[in-house]
Chain A
Amino acid sequence: MTSWRAPLLTVGGLLAAAGLGFIGYGLYRADTIAMAAGSTANFTVGWGVLLQSWFSAQWVLRFHDFRSAMAAVEHEGVRGVARGIPHVWGGLAVWFAGWAVIAAGIRRKPDEAEGPSAAVGAPLYPPLARFQDFHWGTLGAYCGGIFAAQLVLVFGYLASVKMLPQIGAFLLCLSAGGLIAFAGGFFGAANSKRLSTPEATIAVLYAGLPIPIFLTLLHQQPAMALLSIFDERELLAVRSLFHEVMFLSSLLGDNMPALGYWLVYGFLVLVLVLGINLGFVATSSGRVDLRLSYELFVASRHVSVFRPRLIGGVLITLLFIVVPPLLLYAIATAANAAVEMTRIQKLGLKDPLKAAAALNLLKAKRQGPTAMMTALSVGGVGVGVMALIIVLSVMSGFELDLQQKILGTNAHGVVMKYAGEAMPEYPEVMKKIGGVKGIVGQTPFILNEVMVATEGNIAGSMIKGIDPKTVGSVTDLPRYMQTGSLEGLTDPSKIVAPRLAPLNEPALDDAPTEKKKPELLRDPLIEEAPHDAPDSAKLPGLVLGKEMANSLRVTVGDRVNVVSPLGSELGPQGPMPKSRPFRVAGIFYSGMFEYDSKFVYISIDEAQSFFGLKGVNGVEVKVDDIDDTRRIMKAVRDVLDGYPYRTKDWGEMNANLFAALRLEKLVMGIILSIIIVVAAGLIVATVIMLVLEKRKEIAVLKALGVSDGGIVKIFLTEGLQIGIVGSVLGLISGLVWCLFIEKYGIKLDPQVYYIPALPVRIEPFQTALSVVIAVLISFLASIYPALKASQVEPVEGLKAE
């Protein structure tokens, strides 16, 4: 019987596969392969079984016999179903036949040669008698853990977001959900005293997965309403709730709405797995014991990761990038060995026994392959953590730089009216805003789009009427002034033109003031200007950005024309563009190309008269804590009693930009974490090697009274030591690299990046997170080898000589 097993299994498998092929061909001929694949997928994922059964039941209820069902399918546009039917039936038959052969191959007859043993009637070994293959309590704990964790996260967040700031509410509920998932895993594993992988899989697939799937579907397909769980209005309400739940995804940008929730789900599953493992380790022996005393002692002797040579070597390698120190190390080791051998040789010429002793000592110093693996794993984790810290810090640096530039030229928040209505009552509004706690500065503004023209050059721009006295309390504009000053905006006499280049220098052929007047006369726009008088000293002042000044080829004291297409003056052919000459009072440089090439500032009075505006467009404010802007702006809105006033903060004004940056950072973080995962693979290999190497020692330790849980703890600690040492070394070298980059800088091409050197900003939270993630991954990586170690049978280990 036994000799036929392999052929039977092979033939059966091939038959079944052929049957499947026939079925597939039949479905293909019938043009229903997509439908079949869809149903099959439904059956395999989560609650899809229920859903698909419901659909199928409806189908069966609707059609009483096969023929009318076929007719209905043909009617629904699926032509030629009948063509595939024989193949499908035939394929099914072959498929079942194949499985029958497999079943025949699996079946095992009892060995009749052996009679009943002498042990008949003796009490069975109790652990075997007690064995239970499935633990419903454990399944309940796992399912309840992952399900309740998600419910608490979603509903807790919806409830607490009304009282707490968004990020705080989210973190609170995330930790609450994580705790619940952890507890579910811990107590479930403690109940069965096993890892209970089938139970965990069922829980993750059937109690965990449906919620993120449901939320994603709800978000992406309003057609889910077809399931008629909600009517239209309810659906809208649910979806707005859902947007709140999607807070995390709003941080990542609008193009991936569901990503945030899946990340959270992944986190919860990870925490559940962690709970299961810790629960198993703590209680599998029959009692809870999380102490580490001799375990740590044995583990540190096994991996001996705290050797100064290993730590120093890895640190130096990380600090000076891989190759040079490794080369140096190889050269130094080879030279040392050569010198040592020469010394021993000399010694041996005098006394051969002494030389033998020295050789012996030399051999004892050599390290085994496991020591090398340990060093490699420590280095791998270190490289991962270092890369993560450096890249994230540089990206944070870019983000901070961008934020500073945006906040330097923009206000933290603005107060406007709906539909861009003018705000003549702005002094009262400003008085009210000033009373709000957290507001440290405010200034009124007028914003419009115009064209700025000089002779031969023209530039579209945003013109902003500002109050030079208060603008400094909101933006950094006064600090950004390169030449000239804001005072020239209100008092044209303060505009000081720089000394012109000496006349004997012909290179400056576009020296502006000399050529201006004749060209001015030829300019049709300027001919219309009311202030055509040569007395340019009385022209109002204007401040523009460095890039615009370059492209218009103007400097302080020069005359420019501002042209607004929204003129109110009527000419013979309809409305005429309005134009007015200004004199450049100053040039600013913010470091942000967008602003330096687009923005033009004039005084608020000039803007009012130019645009015929009573009042202003709005009020810009500055707050004391930029991270709390949203809340403070809400307070401002409340003080102003809402409509017609509305507020916007810097985050909303640049939402897409910051969302893109954050998404980029997240993706970079995930990609770089892969390095750590690879290093975790190294840890797995190292600890497995250790387990194989230490089989005998494991058996002896068990004989001395170490429980299975103790063995697991020993080997977990070994992996954890590698992870912790690697992470700490990576942290140190990453920080050193960051400080180095910050101090000495990596030069960038300012033409391309508009920033002189690579910016670095070390964020404590994300740095700590990198280390924690690395340590966590190391811990997870050593779980499998540690479990393998605990399964070493003492007898087997003692036999292995």
Chain B
Amino acid sequence: MGAFLELKEVHKAYFLHGKRIDVLRGVSLDIEKGELVSLVGASGSGKSTFLHVVGTLDAPAAGTMRYQGRSVFDMNDAELAEYRNRTIGFVFQSHYLLPEFTAAENVAMPALIQRQDRVMSLRRAKELLERVGLGARVEHRPGELSGGESQRVALARALMLAPSLLLADEPTGNLDPTTGEGIHQLLREVNRDLGLTAVVVTHNEVLAQSMPRRLRLLDGRVQAA
């Protein structure tokens, strides 16, 4: 039995006008349970691609990834969907909330996808929203929320099913420093209280330095920063 999350020789390339761009050139990495990891790198170095591959939103060309000993890339579509649903919580640079649904419904969506009872899910979603400080905005649609509020709703949604791995892609990239700091604070709290593992991609050096483990993506490979 290896690490909590174990990547080996993960390759990924893009083709632009017939030219190959190697984004990931054999990324090998172990992440232990409960670690809070920051990932930095230049723009276009493949940080987002790395996160997408770990979150199985993007298919690599080659390589293996094991989650608690299970080969993730060997799963079929239903198992992958379930992996994303139960194991992973995503927070993106944009909040990506569903515009037709209220904040509470957005937060409850992962539970609804798991076919949990709607009333119970909405109740839990409201609790989570209160916890991120948005108890008063439960019935608001994303269009009626500010950027910082939306990002907090997105964080609550990522935490809805208590995932064991949180993947955050520049969660504060679109926010002012004060609001961003609030989000960082929340992330640290969640890591401490729930013991969940988190990988945070960021440009924010202050944030990166505050993380216990720091990684850098350079020339398609991951190294300690």
Q: Do A and B come from one complex?
A: yes
Interface residues of A (CB under 8 A from B): 2, 111, 114, 117-119, 122-128, 193, 284-287, 289, 291, 293-294, 297-298, 301-302, 304, 696-697, 699-710, 793-795, 798, 801
Task: Please give, as numbers and ranges, the residues of chain B lying within 8 Å of A703 by CB-CB distance.
Answer: 55, 57, 84, 90, 96
A sample of 30 cross-chain residue pairs with beta-carbon separation below 8 angstroms, ordered by A number, consists of A2-B18, A114-B20, A118-B11, A119-B13, A119-B62, A122-B11, A122-B62, A123-B9, A124-B62, A126-B73, A285-B77, A286-B76, A293-B112, A294-B113, A301-B101, A302-B100, A699-B96, A701-B98, A701-B109, A701-B113, A703-B84, A704-B90, A704-B157, A705-B82, A705-B86, A706-B85, A707-B82, A794-B58, A795-B58, A801-B94
In Å, the complex CA distance between A702 and B58 comes to 11
Task: Identify which of A125, A126, A301 gathers the most chain B CB atoms within 10 Å of its CB.
Answer: A125
Interface bits B96-131 vs A (CB < 8 Å: 1, else 0) = 111111000000011011110010000000000000
- A284–B18 CB distance below 8 A: no
Best-surrounded residue of B55, B59, B77, B157 (most CB of chain A within 10 A): B77
- Least CB distance from B147 to A in Å reads 14
Q: Are A289 and B11 CB-contacts (below 8 A) given A117-B22, A122-B62?
A: no
Q: Say yes or no: B79 contacts A705, CB within 8 Å.
A: no
Closest B residue to A703 by CB, please name it.
B90
B52-88 vs A, Cβ < 8 Å mask (1 yes, 0 no) = 1001011111111000000101101111111111100
Residue B203, interface by CB 8 Å = no
Residues in B33-68 with C-beta less than 8 Å from chain A: 52, 55, 57-64
Answer whether residue B25 sits at the interface, using C-beta atoms and an 8 A cutoff: yes
Q: Is the beta-carbon distance between B63 and A710 smaller than 8 angstroms?
A: no
CA gap between A696 and B95 in the complex, in Å: 11
User: Which residue of A2, A193, A705 is within 8 Å of B114 (Cβ)?
Assistant: A705
A287 to B97 Cα, complex, angstroms: 28
Q: Are B113 and A119 in contact (CB under 8 A)?
A: no
B11: chain A residues at CB < 8 Å are 117-119, 122
Within 8 Å CB of A706, what residues of B? 81, 85, 113
How many inter-chain contacts with C-beta < 8 Å in the A-B complex?
128
In the complex, B26 has a CB within 8 A of chain A = yes
Is the Cβ of A710 less than 8 Å from the Cβ of B73?
Answer: no
Say yes or no: B79 contacts A286, CB within 8 Å. yes
> Quick one: which of B26, B52, B61, B92 contacts A125, CB cutoff 8 A?
B61
Are B26 and A705 within 8 A (Cβ)? no
Interface residues of B (CB under 8 A from A): 9, 11, 13, 18, 20, 22, 25-26, 52, 55, 57-64, 71, 73-74, 76-86, 90, 92, 94, 96-101, 109-110, 112-115, 118, 157, 220
> A114-B20, A794-B58 are known contacts. Are A126 and B74 too (CB-CB below 8 A)?
yes
A118-B11, A126-B74 given; 15 more Cβ-contact pairs under 8 Å: A117-B11, A117-B20, A122-B9, A122-B26, A123-B63, A126-B71, A294-B113, A294-B115, A297-B112, A704-B110, A705-B81, A705-B85, A706-B81, A706-B113, A707-B82
On chain A, the residues within 8 Å of B113 by CB distance are: 294, 701, 704-706, 710
Alpha-carbon separation in the docked complex, A287 to B81 (Å): 12
User: How many Å lie between the Cα of A710 and that of B85 in the bound state?
Assistant: 13
The reply to whether A705 and B110 form a contact with Cβ atoms under 8 Å apart is yes
Kindly state the separation between the CA atoms of A286 and B75 in the bound complex, as whole angstroms: 9
Given contacts A117-B22, A294-B112, contact A123 B62 (CB under 8 A): yes
- Shortest Cβ distance from A711 into B: residue: B81
Closest beta carbon of chain A to B188's beta carbon, Å: 23
Q: How far is the CA of A117 from the CA of B25 in the complex (A)?
A: 9
Q: Which residues of B contact A701 (CB under 8 A)?
A: 98, 109, 113
Q: Which residues in B have their C-beta under 8 angstroms from that of A707?
A: 77-78, 80-82
For B25, the chain A residues whose CB sits under 8 A away are 118-119
Does A704 lie within 8 Å of B85, measured CB to CB? yes
Q: How far is it, in angstroms, between the C-alpha of A107 and the C-alpha of B182 when the chains are bound?
A: 58
User: Bound state CA distance, A117 and B76, in angstroms?
Assistant: 27
Across the interface, which residues of B come within 8 angstroms of A297, CB to CB? 112, 118
**Bound Cα distance A249, B7 (Å):** 66
- State A457–B105 Cα separation when bound (angstroms): 88
Q: Nearest residue in B to A2 (C-beta to C-beta)?
A: B18
Query: For B96, what are the chain A residues with a Cβ–Cβ distance below 8 Å?
Result: 696, 699-700, 703, 798
* Residue of B55, B59, B71, B97 contacting most chain A CB atoms (<10 Å): B59
Q: B64 — which chain A residues lie within 8 A by C-beta?
A: 123
Q: Which residues of B contact A304 (CB under 8 A)?
A: 100
Q: Which residues of A contact B157 (CB under 8 A)?
A: 704
Given contacts A117-B11, A123-B62, A123-B64, contact A704 B78 (CB under 8 A): no
| Residues of chain B contacted by A702 (CB below 8 angstroms) | 57, 81, 84
| Chain B residues with CB below 8 A from A289, complex form | 78
Across the interface, name the chain A residue whose C-beta is closest to B25.
Answer: A118
Residues of A within 8 A of B55 (CB): 703
Which residues does chain B contribute within 8 Å of A127, judged by CB atoms?
A: 59, 73
B143 CB, min distance to chain A CBs, angstroms: 8
Known contacts A700-B96, A705-B110: A285-B81 contact under CB 8 Å: yes
In the bound complex, what is the Cα–Cα distance between A708 and B57 (angstroms)? Answer: 12
Q: Which residue of A lies closest to B87 (CB)?
A: A705
Q: Which residues of B contact A2 (CB under 8 A)?
A: 18
Contacts of A193 in B (CB 8 A): 76
A2-B18, A707-B78 are known contacts. Are A125 and B101 too (CB-CB below 8 A)?
A: no
Partner among B78, B84, B109 whose Cβ is within 8 Å of the Cβ of A709: B78
Q: How far is the CB of B13 from chain A (nearest CB, A)?
A: 7
Query: Given A117-B22, A124-B62, A293-B115, A286 and B101 touching (CB < 8 A)?
Result: no
- Chain B residue nearest in CB terms to A706: B113
- The residues of B that contact A793 with a CB separation of less than 8 Å are 58
| Interface pairs A-B: 6 shortest CB-CB | A705-B85, A286-B76, A707-B81, A285-B78, A122-B62, A119-B11
Residue from B25, B73, B92 whose CB has the most chain A CB atoms within 10 Å: B73
Distance A706 CA – B98 CA, assembled complex (angstroms): 14
Q: Which residue of B lies closest to A795 (CB)?
A: B58
Residues of A within 8 A of B83 (CB): 705
- A790's nearest neighbour on chain B, judged by CB, is B77
Contact status A125-B57, CB under 8 Å = no
Residues of B within 8 A of A704 (CB): 84-85, 90, 109-110, 113, 157
With both beta carbons as reference points, the residue of chain B lying nearest to A284 in the complex is identified as B77
- In the complex, A795→B56 CA distance in Å? 10
Q: How far is the CA of A126 from the CA of B70 in the complex (A)?
A: 14
Given contacts A118-B26, A122-B26, A801-B94, contact A705 B63 (CB under 8 A): no
CA distance A125 to B73 in the complex (A): 7
Shortest C-beta distance, B118 to chain A (Å), equals: 8
Set A125, A298, A699, A794: member contacting B62, Cβ < 8 A:
A125
Q: How far is the CA of A679 from the CA of B94 in the complex (A)?
A: 38
Q: Contacts A122-B11, A703-B57: A286 and B78 contacting too (C-beta < 8 A)?
A: yes
